[in-house]
Structure 1
Amino acid sequence: MKNIHKIERNPNFLEHLLIIIGSLSMIVIVTLTAFTTYHSAKEDVLNIAEDDAVRIGTVIVKHYQYDLFNKNKLNKGWSSLEIDMFDRHVKYFLSQFEIHKIKVFNFKRNIIYSNERDIIGIKDKNNKSLTKALQGKINSHLVHEDETVDLSEEKQLNADVVETYFPVYNDIEEIVGAMELYVDVTRYKDEIIHRVTTSVVNISAILIIVFAISYFIVRTGSKEVKSLLDRLHNMAVYDTLTGVYNRGAIIEQANKELSLMKRRIINGEPPKCLGIIMTDLDYFKKINDTYGHQAGDKVLCGFTDRIKQSLREYDVYGRWGGEEFVILLPETDHEKAAAAADRLRKLIMKKPFSINGTSLNITASFGVTCCYDPYESFDTLLAKSDEAMYEAKESGGNRVVSKQ
C-alpha cells in the first residue's frame, strides 16, 4: 500500500555540517598552533644562542684581538707554529662552551682563523650573513644536522647549531672584520618538541571540549528540528484523524500516475488506465448527531481500515474531506474499478461497526470513473467520479455508479 510519502529531507544536516567544519577547524588550528609554537621556540633558541655567541665572541676578541688583527700578521700570514699555539689557546677556551666551530674573517672576507685548519685563507665571497656582519649587523639562523653548513669545502656537523655572525671592532670602534660561531643547540631540541607537544595537547583538549559542547547543543537542536519536520511532514501529507493521505497528497499521487501513463505513450508502449473511485458514507451526519463526533471519528477510522483490507498493496487512498474518500487504482480499467468499488461496498455493509459497545450498520455510496487519456486533468476526472457518487447517494445510497 502506498501509505508512505517519500520526500527528500535531511534533519541531521546541522550535525553533519558541524562535524565537517569542526574536524577541519581542529586540524587547521592544531596545525597553526604547532607551527606557531615551533617557530616561537625556535626564535627563543636563536636569541639564546645568539647572545651566547656574541658574549663568547666578545671575550675571544678581547683576549686575542692583537693576534687576530695584527697588521703585520695579516700581511705576512701566520706561521704554522703560531697557528698551533693560538689554536690550542682557543680550543681550550671553547671547550668550556658548546661551540662546534669558530671562524674569524678580516674585512676582505678572508678566513684568518678557524678551528678547522683546512679552510684558513679561503675567501667567502657570496655569504650574505657575512656581508651583514661586516656592515655592523648581528644575524643568526638555525642549521639542522642534516643540512650542509656554509662553505662546500667544510665538514658537515652532526648537531643542530645556531650559526651567528657579528662584527669585530677595533679600539676606535671601526669594523675590522667579523666572527662566526656555531653554537650547539641540540639540547634544546627536546625542549622545543615538549613545548610544541604541550601546546598541541592543550589546544586539542580545549577544542574537543568546545566541539563536544557545540555538538551537544546542535544535536539537541537537530532532534527538535527533526521532530518539527516530521510533524510538518505529517501535517502536509497525512490526515490527522485517520492517518491516511490528505487531499494534497492524493492530488500529488494522482499526477504521478498520470505522468507514468504519459511516459508509456511517449515510449511507444501500450497505455495503461487509472481507475478512480470517490466514496462517501451514507447518513454520516445522523451518526454524529445521534452518537456524537467522537463516535463519528471512530467510524471514519474503521472505514479507512476496511478500505485498506479491500485494496491491493500498490493502490492509493486518502481522505478527501469530511466523510469523503478517494481511491486510485493504477492499471485498472473501468469494469475492474467498478468491481473493486462493489467489493468494498459489500465489505462495509456486511459487518456492522462497533462503537462504544453499540453496533452500527454503515453503508457507503461510490462513484467510479476511469482515465484512459493521461492528458485529461485530474480535476476533470475527479469531477466525473464525484458526480457519479452523488447519483448513487440520490438513488438511496449503498450502491456503485460508474461514469465515463
Structure 2
Amino acid sequence: MRRVVVTGMGALTPIGNNVEEYWNALLEGKNGGANITSFDTSKFKTKFACELKGYDETEHFNRKEIKTYDKFTQYALVSVKQAVEDSAVDFDTLNKDRIGVIWGSGNGGIQTFQDQLVEFAQGDGTPRFSPFFIPRILVDIAAGVISMRYGLRGVNYCAVSACATSTTAMIDAFNYIRWNKADMIITGGSEAAINEATIGGFGSAKALSTNNENPATASKPFDPNRDGFVMGEGAGALILEEYEHAKARGAKIYAEVVGGGMAADAYHLTGTHPQGDGAVLGMSLALEEAEIKATDLDYLNMHATSTPFGDISELIAAKRVFGDNPTLTISGTKSMTGHLLGAAGAVEGIACIKAVQTNMIPPTTNTENIEEEYKDAFHFPLHKGIQKEVKYAMSNTFGFGGHIASILVKKFEE
C-alpha cells in the first residue's frame, strides 16, 4: 500500500491567522472567546463566540471575488494558499490530472443564505436574489473554486458529516492516494457560521455555553462545570501526498498519515451514544489500520466540545479503547479555538501533526477540575503546553447524525 505524507499546511483560526501563530497560541493556552461583533446579540441567550481576529477580506480578494465568494469559501482559499506556499509545490511541473481536492464544510454559505432570505422577506415579495446566491451557498463550491484556482483536474468533491466533516475529508484524501487514484490532494475544511441563524439554532438546542460573563474561559472540556460549546470559525488546509511523489520533488515532510476510522453511533439525531459505541469503533479502526496497539498512542486530541454529555461519552469511549493509561496525553483544543464545526477536524489534525513534528502537546485551557472518574485515567495537561516524545497522535471528531471520524498520524521516518 502506498504511503501518504503531509507536505503543506495552512490555518485561519480564532487564535492565529496562520499555522505558526495558531500553534504558538495553542501551546501558550491563548483563548479566542469574546463578545460577538458581527451582529446584535442583545436578544440572544449566547452573546459570544470565537471569531477570527484581524481578518480583512479586502487584503485577500478583489471586489468581484468578494461578491462571488461566501466567507467560508474565502477562508478555504486563504488557508489553501498558505498550504500551497508552505509545500513549495509548482503545480505546472506536475500531472494535474493526478492532483485533487477533497474539501469539507458543514454549513457552506449559511451567511449568504440567511442574508438573502431576510432581504427577500423584508422586501415587497419581488424575488431579487443575487445571481451568485446559489453558488455562494453550495457546500461543494469551495472544493470547486480551489481546483479552478490551481487548475487541478483530479478527484474533486465536498465531504459533509457535520462536525466530523474535515476529518472525513482528510481520511478520504488519505485513501484516494493510497489506492493510487491520486498523487496529491488538497484537503481540509472551512466554516463561517457565526450569525443569527446558527447562534439561535444551536442555542435553542441548548448546545451552546451561556457563560456570557466569561467568554474567554467559557469552553472548559472535561470540567464538571462545563455548560456547552463555544462557536468558532475559520479553516484548516493540508496537502497530502504520496511519499515517493513528495520525495521526487524534494518536499519537506511534516508527518505520515497511517490510519483513519469512520463509524456511526446509530443512536440519536444530535447526541452521542452514552457509552461511546461509535467513538470506540472509529478509534479502534484507526489503530487497526495503522497496525499499532492502543498502548502505542502518545497523544489524543479529543472532540471535547465542552458539552455536559458529549465529553463524558467520549471519555467513556477512550477508557474502553485505551484502558487506564496515565501515559496517554489527552487535550481538548476547542477550549481555545471554540468549535469550528466542519472545519474542526482540519485545525485539530494540524495540532496533531505539529505534536509529532515538534514533540510538544497543547493543553486544555479553562478547565480547573477533570471529571472525577477520569482524572487519573489519562494525562491531562492544563493551561500550558508540555514537552513529550510523540510518535503517534490521533484526532477525534463527531457530528450531528452520529458521524464518527478519527485520524491517526505518525512521526515521519524514511
Provide the TM-score with structure 1 as the length reference: 0.22
The structure with more radius of gyration: 1
Higher helix share: 1
Provide the TM-score with structure 2 as the length reference: 0.22
